[in-house]
């Protein structure tokens, strides 16, 4: 997921990330409407070094983009792993492996963006509070009560694991227009 505002910070971070890119593993992010984004992710059977390496690479990819959340689905790994960091300082990484929503409440509507749909921001209605249970990088179970923007991010990223991209909450007409716009944009970029 990406934030809609805060451009100066974003530009500054981009410059830093270009410098760091050579020593980091930046994964390729699938771009909507890539069919692979609709793959249903499988549960991680065992949290091991391979999982931790994936988490590290996903976090680096998210920070470099820059974004505030990334699901393994977006880097074409179809396992239930998501990373989230909504801090401005990029030092509050949260890792959710095999996340499950235990409880939701309230309703909130806000503008969302996605690293798989760059430059597109649309309003989506979500639960305001979620209680999520997941495994951390050490395979330990934890439960987190999240609200507001963090709750939105978790829901957005968990949707990716189910093969759903946020623009699929829009009306069919809006989705058709969006696909045409992205197609045109890609044609122009060639």
Name the minimum Å distance from CB 22 to Ni ion.
Answer: 26
Tokens coding 68: 């505030």
Distance CA 99, CA 81 (A): 8
120 binds Ni ion (CB under 5 A): no
Q: Which is nearer to Ni ion, 44 or 160 (CB)?
A: 160
Which of 3-11, 39-47, 112-120, 174-182 is the region at the interface with Ni ion (rule: CB under 5 A)?
A: 112-120
* Binding test (CB under 5 A) with Ni ion, winner from 114, 124, 135, 167: 114
Q: Give me the catalytic one of 100, 128, 147, 157.
A: 157
Name the minimum Å distance from CB 84 to Ni ion.
Answer: 11
Q: Name the residue number minimizing CB distance to Ni ion.
A: 114
157 is catalytic: yes
Element (H, E) at 147: strand 141-147
3-class secondary structure per residue, 61-100: HHHHCCCCEEEHHHHCCCECEEEECCCCCCCCCEEEEEEE
Nearest to 53 by CA among 80, 75, 25: 25
Q: Which is nearer to Ni ion, 75 or 135 (CB)?
A: 75
The bridge status of strand 94-105 relative to strand 129-135 is antiparallel
124 binds Ni ion (CB under 5 A): no
**Residues annotated catalytic, as ranges:** 157
For Ni ion, the binding residues (CB under 5 A) are: 1, 114
């Amino acid at each position: 997921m990406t934030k809609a505002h805060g451009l100066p910070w974003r530009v500054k971070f981009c410059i830093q990330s270009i410098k760091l890119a050579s020593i980091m593993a930046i994964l390729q992010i699938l771009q909507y409407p890539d069919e692979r984004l609709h793959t249903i992710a499988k549960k991680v059977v065992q949290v091991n070094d391979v999982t931790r390496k994936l988490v590290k690479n996903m976090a680096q990819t998210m920070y470099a983009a820059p974004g505030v959340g990334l699901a393994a689905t977006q880097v074409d790994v179809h396992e239930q792993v998501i990373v989230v960091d909504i801090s401005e300082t990029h030092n509050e990484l949260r890792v959710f492996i095999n996340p499950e929503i235990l409880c939701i409440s309230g309703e909130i509507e806000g503008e969302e963006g996605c690293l798989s749909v760059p430059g597109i921001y649309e309003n989506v209605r979500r639960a305001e509070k979620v209680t999520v249970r997941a495994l951390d990088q050490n395979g330990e179970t934890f439960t987190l009560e999240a609200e507001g923007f963090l709750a939105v991010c978790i829901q957005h990223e968990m949707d990716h694991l189910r093969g759903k991209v946020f623009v699929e909450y829009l009306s069919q007409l809006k989705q058709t227009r969006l696909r045409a716009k992205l197609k045109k944009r890609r044609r122009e970029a060639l």
